[in-house]
Chains A and B, each alone.
Chain A
Amino acid sequence: MSAKVFRPDRSYLLRKLHSLSGIVPVGAFLAEHFWSNSTVLVSISKYNETSRELQTIPFRIFAEALMIWLPILYHGCYGIHIWMRGKSNVSDYPWVGNWLYTLQRATGLVAFVYIGWHVYAERFLTHGKSTYGDMERTLQNPYALAFMAVGIVASSFHFGIGIWNFLCKWGLTATVQAQRAAGRLGVLVGLAFSLVGILILVSFRLNWHPFEFYIK
């Protein structure tokens, strides 16, 4: 029997692109999104100002489509394809890495569904002119509030675990110690993003602006 000949094919590229797209631009956008939304912690007017600024960038629709929507769509769809081809066995082998593997798939799906709804509600229903008032109104609905909280935590941890995966899968952390540190970093990012995200929700919901003293 002779060994089959294997040629490099597109799947390698697509897979690498999936991995990379999770960090840039999708992860980077997540960070930017949390950053600009956290202005609500200062004041309503600062939030509205920041939103206005982002809503009025030149070539907005192209920037959104190319840097946000398409990458998220690709990352999500290809991610589901990857998920379908794996078979979680965390019940047989409950090791930390295996938990993260399983968690990464679950959080990815939740985040993808959530982002779909979030974009529809806050980008399209508001015709791209969402303001503090729109968000406040959305969040009066307890189901929307709960869904947002779940979506934020899922996205945050998906990004955090994604950082650890990325560092390992590109060989940027090659030793066991470095990989352990990468894992800790990932969890830390997940926690930090979740915390900030939840604080933003609380701010909208309770009209609470802890950094208002900056401008008073």
Chain B
Amino acid sequence: MADKKKVIVRVKRQAGPKQEARWEEFALDWRPSMNVIIALRDIAENPLTRDGQKTTPVSYDSNCLEEICGSCAMVINGKARMACSALIDDLEQPIRIEPLSKFPVVRDLAVDRQFMFESLKRVHAWVPIDGTYDLGEGPRVSPETQEKGYPLSNCITCGSCLEVCPQVNEKNPFIGAAIISQVRLFNMHPTGAMHARERLEALMGPGGIADCANAQNCVQACPKGIPLTESIAEVNRQVWKQALFGWLLG
């Protein structure tokens, strides 16, 4: 075999949260079914840039390698997507890899998604089951609700929906589609519904649901195919009803 097939990858590097970003180019040996995470691992194995300069391994988050943990979202060739399911053969070269732009960079491609976790806390995205005494069994979840809720429960908090949303930016800390969809999920759960009002009120505050401007990018970008625009519409209805009738009807 003559020269080995090469894969040209350009990575946006940043040594720390406050450091200047720069680009580095790598030429890697092609392998069958190679994906972006494998490319990053190959760099770590032999951290040499294309022109032979020694460099450091690229920092990035990943875990499951099967699009289920949500940690590896990056901007690849200008699009937000999961690195572990981004096959090299499907990508135009040189492949540009950047960190998500809507979250603070920790280092290189690793970003801090604390904003999303704070937002989940803000809307109480859970079903409370503990009390100071035994609360007993909750109401049953109907099969219909289970069926509706299951796809929503697939959210992996990857942040792709925030990354592509024009309403999420430095000037506008919009809570984003994922969290609104979680409100729908927990409000449809019969035990979770007991705290529906708190969730809806949390969405009326700054950066809440009213900041959605219906660009509908989220639903296009979501790697889990979650019906985000349906969730937003549904929760929007719940919120304005709460706002309008909450104080009237209690």
Interface residues of A (CB under 8 A from B): 1, 3-4, 6-9, 11-13, 15-16, 82, 84-89, 92-93, 95, 97-98, 100-101, 104, 164-165, 168-176, 179
Partner of B233, one of A4, A12, A98, A179: A179
Q: Which of B16-34 contact A (CB under 8 A)?
A: none
Q: Is B202 an interface residue (CB 8 A)?
A: yes
Q: Is B68 an interface residue (CB 8 A)?
A: no
Quote the shortest CB–CB distance from B216 to chain A (angstroms).
Answer: 3
What number of B residues sit within 8 Å (CB to CB) of A? 40
Whether B166 lies near A88 (C-beta < 8 A) is yes
Q: Is B194 an interface residue (CB 8 A)?
A: no
B171 contacts across to A, CB distance below 8 A: 84-85, 87
Pick out which of these stretches binds chain A: B5-13, B43-51, B149-157, B236-244. Answer: B236-244
- CB closest chain-A residue, reference B114: A1
Pick out which of these stretches binds chain A: B82-90, B127-135, B205-213. Answer: B205-213
Whether B169 lies near A86 (C-beta < 8 A) is yes
Number of A-B contacts (CB under 8 A): 119
Quote the shortest CB–CB distance from A13 to chain B (angstroms).
Answer: 7
For the complex with contacts A165-B213, A171-B238, 18 further pairs of A-B residues with Cβ separation under 8 Å are: A3-B118, A4-B122, A6-B206, A8-B205, A9-B206, A12-B205, A16-B240, A85-B171, A88-B166, A89-B164, A92-B78, A95-B216, A98-B166, A100-B215, A101-B166, A172-B237, A174-B234, A176-B227
B210 contacts across to A, CB distance below 8 A: 11-12, 15-16
Whether B243 lies near A13 (C-beta < 8 A) is yes
* A131 vs B217: C-alpha distance when bound (angstroms): 47
Whether B215 lies near A6 (C-beta < 8 A) is no
Q: Is B214 an interface residue (CB 8 A)?
A: yes
Partner of B221, one of A12, A13, A93: A93
A13 contacts across to B, CB distance below 8 A: 243
* A48 vs B167: C-alpha distance when bound (angstroms): 46
Q: Is B93 an interface residue (CB 8 A)?
A: no
